[in-house]
Chains A and B, each alone.
Chain A
Amino acid sequence: MILLWMIVILMAGGLLAWLSKKLHPVLPRWIALFAVSADFAIALYLWLGTPAASLGASPWLMQMEVPWVPQWGVNFILALDGLSLLMLLLTFFIGILAVLISWREIKVKTGFFHFNLLWVLAGITGVFLTMDLFLFYFFWEVMLIPMYFLIGVWGHANRNYAAYKFFIFTQASGLLMLLAILGLYFIHGSQTGNYTFNYFELLGTELAPEEARFLMFGFLAAFLVKLPVVPFHSWLPDAHSEAPTAGSVILAGLLLKTGAYGLLRFVLPLFPTATVEFAPWAMLLGVVGIIYGAILAYSQTDLKRLVAYTSVSHMGFVILGVFAFNQWALQGVVMQMIAHGLSTGALFIIAGFLYERLHTRDIGQMGGFWSKAPKMGVIAMVFVMASLGLPGLGNFIAEFLTLVGSWQANNWLTVFATIGVVLATAYSLRIMRKVFYEPAPSDHPLPDLNAREMLIAVPMVVVILWLGLYPQPILDTAQPSINQQLQAYQEPEVEKEKVAVVEVPEAKLRIEEVKK
């Protein structure tokens, strides 16, 4: 029930925020802040309340199921495991930041803005929680519309084009996924006579190789576009650079993660044979994305566009890791989702701070800010270092684990992926040099960060440091659900890998294997 509350709070908060604009202009901001904080508190409570050891037997912490459209076998199923929990924590953390950074930036239609903001978050929460494929598609689409409005109404100059492109890309790919969902539904129904969209029941569906391939491509279409993977990435730079800061942060920090989450949750366990066939190609796409994104990031002059291309590069690691099918890599993917959400979100926030002061995103017109705004400089330095993968910060752990995992799956591609890390150093340092060190082209005054902005930036620094120095709690929480996703890929070498302490499910699996 508490799972439902998380979604309800956001949706109700959104409606309230919209209506409360009439009463007082600041009210929507407070309502939004309160709603997201409440959800963050719930998620935190759930996380602290469940020590990692208790995750052992079943990866599922809690579950609720209510019939929704019984005639079609659609149930309102929400379920929480370690992976979802981590994603929710990230969602609400970034959600709070998104509300805070909009405090001064958004001046028109604030009620409607916060409505959209909260509904995007509600959609994302739903995507991370639901275990019914119909409902999954439902939430998948629910997060698009408000995002479209966020970009289209409050974005920068070229917002209409960007919003269109974003919407049509994601909608088209989503419809292909819907077809695949329906295909799976009918195949499962005709085999068992039980027509249902329930994820847990669909897991065991026997598919002919041909069917599995087609259905997998349906799902992949949606997730690869969302992730995004080169060559389906062209919506991303436009959407990211034209969106308001809060929109960019949510896009980069959360929306991209839904694609990665979908790969982990649905593609891996549902199509164990088809994915193995496709794996070399997927990893190749990942490596192409890493290098291509990095090269394009290096050549951008628009700060937000630059950061957007770094996302393309970083998300290459995600797909590389997912299709390595081992625990190292998947742990790396989960870490990458969280660390990238924070570090890229932070970079967009800094770009937002700069835009607010200078009214430009062109890095040619920036420079010399290190002396003018030292606090901002330090914060930016931390996240630029995180983005290039400096040890001690979260992204390092993520990339390291991913590369270790993918090495076991494919040596050559991993070598090329590692070259991408070097390129990341190049473009990251270019940000620092251009914006903060080079002599200033103009004498525009640049006030340093104020208290509100520090309140946003400091927690992010703390979290990214924590992720880099002591990632164990995250790894422990993710472990059982990663095992679950990999169940269908049990290979002998899994036994050797002990990333985390939890061993119960592995032991159980071995027993089950013997039984077979």
Chain B
Amino acid sequence: MSQTDFLHLMPLLILTVAALVNMLVIAAWRNHKIIYVITAVSFVAAFLSLFELRGITAYAIDPLFVIDGFGVFYIGLILATALLISMLSYAYFEQREEQKEEYYILLILSTLGACTLVISTHFASLFLGLEVLSVALYSLISYLRTRERSDEAGIKYLILAAFSSAFLLFGMALVYFSVGTMTFAGIATAMSGLQELPLLLLTGFGMMIIGIGFKLSVVPFHMWTPDVYEGAPAPVTAFIATVSKAGVLGIMIRFFLEVDGFRYPTLITIFTIVAISSMIAGNLLALMQKNVKRILAYSSISHLGYLLVAFLAGNQMGVEAITFYLVAYFITTVGAFGVVAMLSDKERDAELLEDYRGLLWRRPWTATAFTAMLLSLAGIPLTAGFVGKFYILAAGVSTQLWLLVAMLVLNSVIGLYYYIKVIAVMFQQPETEAETPKKRLRPSIYLASVGTLVVLTLLLLIVGVYPAALVEIIQNVFATAPEMVAR
């Protein structure tokens, strides 16, 4: 590897080094604050190093990676999200007795995995990234091991993720068997002559879709989602809902555009069925939940369904819409779980609807922020979620996916019901006078959390009211990656 290769991989290297430094510091002196600062600084440093790569036109590190505008944007998105999540984690873990410091190492490692994923152009690096991401997640999910639910969630995720990795590997093997190469470009060349997918290749793709579908938690591979969301600590839930999905979605888009999978009606049919069933199942199941984390879990399933609508549009607008929607969805999701994390106490997370009753009267600002997040998830104007949903609808209408678009609209209405349910609970006037406030940590500890929430709420509104800036950035990103959007 040459020096320029290293320069281009700088964000990833920074993360690697940060994980090592954290490990050494813990060995020398266990201190939550120091580890936290190192983590935050390394995320910021990695993010800033991306500015060196601005306006880059595909730089390939053969055969494993390619660093292009698309990759840089997704790495930036992942790093920013990871940074925000680590900000929210500090207050959350400060009040717990478990050893807190290793959490940050795992967080950095899984972020590294996600970043590796989005710049992969080879099955080997894809799998490597995916495993770094997943293995760190296993332990993150069951991090609060004294909680019963945490263990359950961790084991559930471990078994199912291992299972799905096996499917993915088998799928890759079959693809390799039929085309004789593992690089995306090689596969694309081998497939360029094919009008129909041969059975073996189709089986391979099918198995890969199972593996990917599990990570994205789309129906019918969604069974783990509510339990894991419920059992994992709130910041980790936010991480699963955002970073891990961005990584997988990024690689899926890259691979699919590269091999031009939209030519094959079979694949389109599979994705259409998955998209529609995710939207419907996610929303219908969410209607019956009484647990906020589970509501958000099922809503994330349906949101992935929405994203697939834009994915199926298969044109440049679709990819832009996905990217925009991801940004909006990340702001919203991190914000929502941030509120959950902030309201949680030592014993348990604030996850029952009961915990939110009359929140507007007890903590008006928190309730307002949470309301904004929920309205954004529901896609109401003035919030980023609305513009994102609009973008997806536009992408769908532009390629006349009327069935999918109609399902999206129908599901938005169903979704509205349960978001409003949470809001209505928060706005209920308390029957009795407020009970004595729970013992809380020093207010200064919450500074990072409160600051993050304020930033997120403002971002939500800015993107919602003036989306032109973000749209321009995204369009520029795809302008510098012409081969991505050759279609």
Report A's interface with B, CB cutoff 8 A. 67-72, 108, 134, 137-138, 141-142, 144-145, 148-149, 152-153, 160, 163-164, 167-168, 171-172, 175-176, 178-179, 182-183, 185-186
Contact = CB atoms under 8 A, between A and B. Distances in A.
Interface stretch (B43-51, B246-254, B450-458, B468-476): B468-476
Most buried by A among B390, B416, B429: B390
Contacts of B416: 167-168, 171
Contacts of A160: 424
Given A108-B429, A141-B381, A149-B427, A69 B468 contact: yes
A153 B413 CA distance: 22
A138 B381 contact: yes
Contacts of B82: none
Contact of A72 (B394, B397, B406, B427): B394
Contacts of A149: 427
B381 A179 contact: no
10 contacts: A69-B467, A138-B382, A141-B386, A144-B380, A164-B417, A167-B416, A171-B413, A175-B409, A182-B394, A186-B398
Contacts of A176: 409
Interface string B72-86: 000000000000000
Interface in B436-487: 466-468, 471-472, 475
B412 interface: yes
Given A108-B429, A178-B393, A179-B393, A71 B413 contact: no
B471 A71 contact: yes
Contact of B427 (A152, A172, A186): A152
B7 interface: no
Interface string B46-66: 000000000000000000000
B412 A175 contact: yes
Given A168-B416, A176-B409, A68 B424 contact: no
B413 A168 contact: yes
B279 to A, nearest CB: 14
Given A138-B381, A141-B381, A179-B397, A70 B468 contact: yes
Interface of B: 375, 380-382, 386, 390, 393-394, 397-398, 405-406, 409, 412-413, 416-417, 420, 424, 427, 429, 466-468, 471-472, 475
A142 B381 CA distance: 6
B420 A72 contact: no
A68 B393 contact: no
B393 A182 contact: yes
B429 A182 contact: no
Rank and list the top 6 A-B pairs by shortest CB-CB distance, nearest first. Answer: A141-B381, A172-B413, A182-B397, A69-B468, A175-B409, A138-B381
Given A167-B416, A179-B405, A141 B427 contact: no
A284 B413 CA distance: 29
A164 B409 contact: no
Contacts of A137: 381
Contacts of A153: 427, 429
Nearest to A108: B429
A145 B380 contact: yes
A178 B381 CA distance: 12
A164 B420 contact: yes
A22 to B, nearest CB: 11
Nearest to B320: A71
A108 B427 CA distance: 12
Chain A interface secondary structure, helix, strand, loop or mixed?
helix
Contact of A164 (B393, B405, B406, B424): B424
A145 B467 contact: no
A145 B394 contact: no
A441 B234 CA distance: 59
B397 A71 contact: no
Most buried by B among A137, A160, A175: A175
A141 to B, nearest CB: 4
Contacts of B472: 71
Given A67-B468, A185-B397, 14 more contacts: A68-B466, A71-B472, A72-B471, A148-B420, A152-B427, A167-B420, A168-B416, A171-B413, A172-B409, A175-B413, A176-B409, A179-B405, A179-B409, A183-B397
A68 B390 CA distance: 15
Nearest to A172: B413
B106 to A, nearest CB: 39
A182 B392 CA distance: 11
B424 to A, nearest CB: 6
Contacts of A183: 397
B375 A71 contact: no
Contacts of A68: 466, 468
Contact of A163 (B381, B398, B405, B424): B424
Given A153-B427, A175-B412, A178-B393, A142 B382 contact: yes
A145 B412 CA distance: 15
A141 B405 CA distance: 19
B397 A186 contact: yes
A152 B428 CA distance: 9
A409 B466 CA distance: 46
B475 to A, nearest CB: 6
B325 to A, nearest CB: 15
B240 to A, nearest CB: 29
Contacts of B413: 168, 171-172, 175
Contacts of B397: 179, 182-183, 185-186
Nearest to B368: A112
A114 to B, nearest CB: 15
Given A153-B427, A178-B393, A182-B394, A69 B471 contact: yes
Given A179-B405, A186-B398, A71 B475 contact: yes
A168 B417 contact: yes
Contacts of B409: 172, 175-176, 178-179
A69 B466 CA distance: 7
A71 B467 CA distance: 10
Contacts of A138: 381-382, 386
A142 B383 CA distance: 10
Contacts of A145: 375, 380, 382
A124 B367 CA distance: 26
Nearest to B428: A160
B252 to A, nearest CB: 25
A67 B467 CA distance: 12
Contacts of B394: 72, 182, 185-186
A93 B18 CA distance: 63
Most buried by A among B386, B393, B416, B427: B427
A149 B393 CA distance: 27
Contacts of A148: 420
Nearest to A111: B364
B43 to A, nearest CB: 30
A76 to B, nearest CB: 10
A115 B397 CA distance: 36
Contacts of B468: 67-71
Contacts of A152: 424, 427
A160 B429 CA distance: 12
A69 B416 CA distance: 26
A167 B393 CA distance: 21
A75 to B, nearest CB: 11
Nearest to B475: A71
A102 B471 CA distance: 42
Contacts of B393: 178-179, 182
A69 B375 CA distance: 22
A172 B405 CA distance: 13
A491 B93 CA distance: 75
A436 to B, nearest CB: 35
B380 A141 contact: yes
Nearest to B399: A186
B361 to A, nearest CB: 8
Contacts of A172: 409, 413
A166 to B, nearest CB: 11
A134 B381 CA distance: 11
A31 to B, nearest CB: 19
A515 to B, nearest CB: 36
